[in-house]
Structure 1
Amino acid sequence: MEPTRRTILTVTGLTVMGLAGTARAAPVRAAGTDLPQAIAGEAVTYLSGEHTIRAAVYRPVGAGRAAGVVFMHGSGGVGPAYLHLAERLARDGYLVIVPAYQDAAADDGIRPEPVMAAWRAAGSDAVDWLIDQGIDRHRVGIMGYSLGSYVAVDGALGDSRAAAAIGVAGGTDVYPPRIPHRRIPVLIIRAERDTHVLPENTRAWVAFLDQHDIPVRVQRLRGAGHILTAAQWTDVSDRASRFFAGNIGRPIQDHQ
């Protein structure tokens, strides 16, 4: 779900939006899920250029995958559906950060290149934040939804140190893609009945990546529109887990 207004959210009891400092929540265990990993939630801030970026973080408690994921929200800001996805990825063993990347530049609806550059930088700096937590750079991925799909994938193919990227419900009508500077695996998940980001524009994005020798895979969410249901978000998180497990989340010895 992509909210239409900025909301006050909680991460396992912590207020995220408007929180000035950093706090840590007690571990919580998944209820009614096939992902048994206990997790802890916290609110953090990090610097991107001259801007302080607020973020929600979910950590697996105990042994995880020693891998990390950045999730970039849609145009409405951080919302409950995105935090649910982050929780599920954390329960699958990933350290996950969800930055409020529009702290780097306000969304004026026009989105000139300096604004997009500030958002991409906020994503890249979130990747660096994960690396600073001790995650190997080859084990960090980034993903995003709608507007965030462009910010995540286009940024990952630019100056970011992300090792894999996922775009959900994105296309060339979100923003024209730039010539890639890096070659990393990319997964594009398209909503079958999307009337906001049209399927032909998602196909154009995939074709652009393919023309520039980016190893890109495409998956379709059957019956899904642009605004995803809770069940469809669970499907997205499962697809993301499988994709990342084959790239950044493989057993440590596979990367040695």
Structure 2
Amino acid sequence: MTAAQDHPHPVGWRLTPARWIVAILALAAIVVSIWQLESERAGILIEPVPGTGTTPTTVYRLPDAGPAPVVIVSHGFAGSRPLMQATSLTLARAGYAAVAFDYEGHGRNPVPMSGDLDSPEGTAILLMAETDRVIDAALAQPWADGRVAIMGHSMGSYIAVRQAVVDDRLAATVAVSMSDDSITATDPPNLLMIQGEWEGRLIPDALAALHRADPAAGLGDTVGDPAEGTGRRAVLAPNVEHVGVIWSPTMLREARAWLDATFGRQSSGDVAHMGGWVALLLTGIVALAWPLARLGGKTHQARPKPLPRNRFLIAALLPAVVVPLVLAPVNTRFLPVLVADYLAVHFALYGVLVLALLAWWGEVRWPGWREVGRILGLAGLVAFYGIGIYGFAMDRYVTSFFPNPERAVIIAAMAVGTVPYMLGDALMVEGGRAPLWRSLTARGAFLASLGLATALDFSGLFFLLVILPVVLLFFLLFGMMGGWVGRASARPAGAGIGLGLFLAWALGVTFPMFQMAS
């Protein structure tokens, strides 16, 4: 499918000096980042932990170091083991056996979450039981010396705190980005709370928990004695928010020092520095797409014809209102994933409505079969770059991006929605040639549409708010990349289909799987 066209014009394939400079800088950023990130992993033995059943579990430790204290590392909602690598590597380098695992429904764990998400006696109890199984398996290994502590982020900190309250084996708890009403003046023992400086709503929770032990204590104060199991401390990691705190050097140093005080150890050396290098690596991969977009050879494909302003505004704004209103009374639960089924239907109906409007106005037409082949070939290249290249970096250094087979159905269902949506989006913005205000209007309207859907069914679609930043980041980074490809090839449909496939993959591996009640 292609937009109505004006006179054909050639598009050159040779790189300009500016594109050569960007290509060289992007490749340099990629190489340096990978070298730095791999150096953080150097010298650390990373291997599976047996005996954990279906729960994928990994230990990070120094080879041939002998038995050591175990630290269980638990990730947050929609996270996975790689997301906690900075913690695992820092603790391993300090001589601990850091044991990270994927909770049910997350990462490569094939078992979906279940229970009641709103009840402490529901899903939390099941995740605590899984944590208990991991602790049992870790302590049974020859590299464990019998001592154990636990560290968690966000949802993982919620589970860690509750587990430590009932599990006498856990000598200390490090709760990052925590919020929990089960904390008392003495339970759990040896509690360190670390919040990001920009996590405003969570900071009072840490202070309230600290004040239960000492009403006069403040951030940075230590109450009690960690060596005796009575320690309490709350600190802020500067200049980070809910995700950035995972890579914060302050957080890592505080966590290591707290565990050292608990176990009577003394660690030296630097902590893992990964956050900045991860950001540089992903930026380099996205930036490299700009010069690569011009390497497809010459094309005489005509430039897409701009939509008249009034038609563009109708196509951009009408679906944003109609789709959430139409879907509000519809039961869209058919996938074992939280709100992903609704999102897939929302994408699909939105895209179909846009494409129907464009077809009704005669703004699109079916291309010849040869051109269809070129469009699909371009779509495949775009999808491969996103899933294969960008996805490899994500999977190794950020979070699980290559899923287990159980997620194949989810990705396919998401693609049924994201492909028509991104195809309609690409045609509306003329493959990236439209003025910036049109791109902002079209994509801003879609985000507002998801917001309206959430407002109409807040309890049922609350978790859409969790995924909104992912969609926004996709628009900012890969919407821009799609524009580069669309302008270079004059085939917006190819860029749109490819980005739709990539978006389906990204969303399909991000949503936690959840077993719906029968």
Give the TM-score of the pair, scaled to structure 2: 0.36
Q: What's the offset of the Cα at 1:202? A: 2.5
- Mapping 1:1-256, distance limit 5 Å: 38-44=43-49, 46-47=51-52, 52-63=54-65, 66-102=68-104, 106=113, 109-134=117-142, 135-137=144-146, 139-172=147-180, 176-177=181-182, 184-195=189-200, 197-208=201-212, 215-228=231-244, 231-232=247-248, 234-248=249-263, 250=265
Residue 169 to residue 82, structure 1, CA distance change in 2 (3 Å): same
Q: What's the offset of the Cα at 1:166? A: 0.5
Amino acid at match of 1:147: M
Residue 188 to residue 95, structure 1, CA distance change in 2 (3 Å): same
Amino acid at match of 1:78: S
Q: Percent identity?
A: 27
Whichever of the two has the greater Rg, that structure is: 2
Q: What's the offset of the Cα at 1:62? A: 2.1
SS in 2 for 1:74: coil
RMSD (Å) for aligned C-alpha atoms: 3.2
Q: What's the offset of the Cα at 1:188? A: 0.8
Q: Tell me the distance in 2 between the aligned counterparts of 1:42 and 1:159.
A: 26
Q: Whose helix fraction is larger, Structure 1's or Structure 2's?
A: 2
SS in 1 for 2:199: coil
Q: Tell me the distance in 2 between the aligned counterparts of 1:210 and 1:52.
A: 42
Amino acid at match of 1:207: H
Amino acid at match of 1:80: P
How many positions carry a matched residue from both structures?
211
Residue 39 to residue 64, structure 1, CA distance change in 2 (3 Å): farther
Amino acid at match of 1:153: V
SS in 2 for 1:245: helix
Match of 1:254 in 2: none
Q: What's the offset of the Cα at 1:140? A: 1.2
Residue 179 to residue 200, structure 1, CA distance change in 2 (3 Å): closer
Q: Tell me the distance in 2 between the aligned counterparts of 1:209 and 1:128.
A: 30
Q: Does the CA contact (< 8 Å) of 2:75 and 2:152 recur in 1? A: yes
Once the two structures are superposed, residues 84-133 of structure 1 have per-residue CA deviations (whole angstroms, 9 ceiling, x without a partner) of 32122112211111121225761675355231112122223322222211
Q: Does the CA contact (< 8 Å) of 1:72 and 1:98 recur in 2? A: yes
Residue 240 to residue 230, structure 1, CA distance change in 2 (3 Å): closer
SS in 1 for 2:256: helix
SS in 1 for 2:151: strand
Amino acid at match of 1:167: A
Q: Does the CA contact (< 8 Å) of 1:127 and 1:161 recur in 2? A: no
Residue 171 to residue 206, structure 1, CA distance change in 2 (3 Å): farther
Q: Does the CA contact (< 8 Å) of 1:101 and 1:122 recur in 2? A: yes
Unaligned runs of 5+ in 2: 1-36, 106-110, 216-223, 225-229, 267-518
Q: Tell me the distance in 2 between the aligned counterparts of 1:111 and 1:56.
A: 29
SS in 2 for 1:101: coil
Residue 60 to residue 167, structure 1, CA distance change in 2 (3 Å): same
Q: Tell me the distance in 1 between the aligned counterparts of 2:191 and 2:176.
A: 11
Q: Tell me the distance in 1 between the aligned counterparts of 2:55 and 2:168.
A: 17
Amino acid at match of 1:242: A
Amino acid at match of 1:98: A
Q: Tell me the distance in 2 between the aligned counterparts of 1:58 and 1:128.
A: 17
SS in 1 for 2:170: coil
Amino acid at match of 2:125: A
Amino acid at match of 2:253: D
SS in 1 for 2:254: helix
Amino acid at match of 2:132: S
Residue 106 to residue 237, structure 1, CA distance change in 2 (3 Å): same
Give the TM-score of the pair, scaled to structure 1: 0.69
Residue 99 to residue 160, structure 1, CA distance change in 2 (3 Å): farther
Match of 1:15 in 2: none
Bigger RCO (CA 8 Å, 6+ sep): 2
Q: Does the CA contact (< 8 Å) of 1:56 and 1:97 recur in 2? A: yes
Amino acid at match of 2:170: A
